Structure 1
Amino acid sequence: MLVAALWVAGMLAYQLPGPGWVQGVALVAWGGFALITIVAVARARAGRWPGALFAAVLVVTGLWWLLLSPRQDREWSDDVAQRLRVVSFDGQHVVLDNVRNFTWRSDDDHDVRWERREYDLDQLRSADLILSYWMGPMIAHTLVSFGFEDGRQLVFSLEIRKERGESFSALGGFFRKFEMTLVAAEETDIVKVRSNVRGEDVYLYRLKGMTREQLKGLFVSYLGEARKLDATPAFYNTLTSNCTTIVYELAKQIAPGLPLDYRLLVSGYFAEYARDLGVLTPGVDFATLKARGRITDRARAAGDDPAFSRLIRVGMPGVDPETGR
């Protein structure tokens, strides 16, 4: 009953429309009633009718939760305003619309650029796991960056689709507060904004052990996710549909035996999970991979240098020092 009461409270806090005081009054009223009901039921003292009312509220709230629908037509924040679109894909060549290439000076001061890009998947040469720590060592945002023979990088990132003025809440993610979107972006946008503008601590690890076909398969899996989200909106879920679980789900398509692990939820330790799977640079201990993979200082030093992607990879195990590939 306590868990159920907390879930109803979350729905009231994150989904009840109106000004903040309305949610406050509703939470106080519900909290008082839930506490009285739980005590009454626990003591078997006149708990029948309060218990029945409690159950009715729970059912109504469950229906409310089920009837919530994700949308594509809200007033979105600039950085998630456009949906990634697969214009064409013939199995080798792909054309993408709305690849993000912003120039960031601050979160509120940026040049907005959504661009069309073409890629030849036969030229795919690498994939890098990026972890950006924004709330202590246990929580990181997970991204995957694909490298091409011509030196270009394309980063995929599953993110909440924020409305203007809205900010992320891990708790809100349990209550269908946010839609989700798949962003494809330049590293000079999506990596640099985290390291250089938002002050996050960013780590990069070269993924090893994939054949060319598996590397291509992982990229194609992201295209499939982009098509799904472009056609049908979906809710972000902190537990089941977040930036880390999507990497796991897509990777599982090319390696079905991937085990479940608590580090899929405690995303700050996802690199250790990748290490245990044997997909990081072999022959190098994890402490070294992590130390040399910390790109925060290199990203800040690179600044607006057009060689940003190569410079942040200097000294990384498994990476060619001349080309960054």
Structure 2
Amino acid sequence: MKKGILLVNLGSPESPEPKDVKKYLGEFLMDERVIDIPYIARAALVKGIILKTRPKASAAAYKKIWWEEGSPLIVLSERLQNKIQKQVEYPVALAMRYGSMTIKKGLQELVDKGVEEVLLFPLYPQFAMATTETITVLAEELRQEFFPSLKIESVPAFYNKADYIEVLSNSIKRHLEGKKYDHVLFSYHGVPERHIRKSDVTQSHCKIDKSCCVTPSKAHEYCYKHQCLEVTRLVGERLQFKKGAFSTSFQSRLGFDPWLQPYTDRTIERLGKNGVENMAIITPAFVSDCLETLEEIAMEGQEIFHEMGGKDFTTVPCLNDDDEFVALLSKWINTWAESKITA
């Protein structure tokens, strides 16, 4: 069977103009795995409130980080795709969960090239309902409706794979070399606490407290918080960060329900108030720099830190199209394809 790969990232508006941002936010926020409340309530919240106020502010944020080539996330994802394609002999397509670069188009592109078996590759190191799960569920729905003869296999979360931790750590080390930092903050995209409980396959383990994430359990396979904390721990150990000189936080909360804590903006504020003069911040929930890393962290985060008296604020780029990262993903893809051939 001819094999192909579909890389999938989050997505982006077509432009940083309010009308395009509104269209994108509407699709994103109406996803039942992003805002997981009943449809009528979700529609009332998104269409009745959020889309009447947020697009203008979000558009202004996008304009701050938009590149001449387009959306940074799209451009960086395309660079990653092109580099991987040079290292594997199988067709590599790129899709986005939201926006015009749809998963359906990506699958169709592969099918048009004769592909019969697809490796679906969500570009997220950690599992979450609002990232990995929404991609795999939609891909299966599309397969059943439009590509019934196509076989799809998904790449599971790779947050704790030794070779991934090595590549991530090497990238962080390179970017921090020669920099001053008293504290290293690992900032991950936030999710509502209820998402953690919903993803608990044991239906009893996840308490969102200080113990459940470090107590072995089957729940960890789908526990976003555990997987984030584990990345912080593994990288901290590999780079020999001093205890107390690095920590984890969560960004980008929405609404009034409890989200994973501590919050990134408040953590940056606290560190500045407590006398940390030089800090570095890493965003390992993303493999490609985007609005959340380039504007929310690198701009807003830095502003908060300086207001609190901090001096040097270093942001470590995502892996993007880092050559080591490209080589790692290509190795995983080739290993998958070869195992299928020899099976």
For the aligned pair, the TM-score class normalised by the smaller chain equals under 0.3
Q: Which has the larger radius of gyration?
A: 1
Given the two structures, how large is their TM-score scaled by the length of structure 1? 0.24
Per residue, is there more helix in 1 or in 2? Answer: 2
Q: How does the TM-score come out when normalised to structure 2? A: 0.23
Greater relative contact order, per chain length (Cα 8 Å cut-off, separation 6+): 2
Larger strand fraction of residues: 1
